[in-house]
Amino acid sequence: MEYKVDQSIIYKNISIQEFDKLFTEHQRLSHQIDKLALFIIENIGGEPSKSEGAIDTAIRLLKEAYTQQEAE
């Protein structure tokens, strides 16, 4: 089942201060994701090798490294 959310309802039910906190946290997390993406691009040869976001790429790379380490 698909749910649709009326965004105007959400904004009506939070204060400006709450919205500012959410917006600030969104910016902080976005910055961290951008930082991760840049690290992957600059330091991991051949990456990104798939059409996926920075977090999914990092998870895939960690799984691959862990699997390789366990095999050794």
**Residues with Cβ within 8 Å of residue 27, at least 6 apart in sequence:** none
* Phi, psi (rounded to 5 degrees) for 71: -75, -20
Supply the mean pLDDT for the chain.
86
Task: List, for residues 13-36, the tens digit of each pLDDT value.
Answer: 778 888 888 889 999 999 999 999
SS3 34: helix
Consecutive H or E run containing 43: helix 16-43
Mean pLDDT for 50-72 is: 93
Band (pLDDT 50/70/90 cuts) for residue 69 is confident
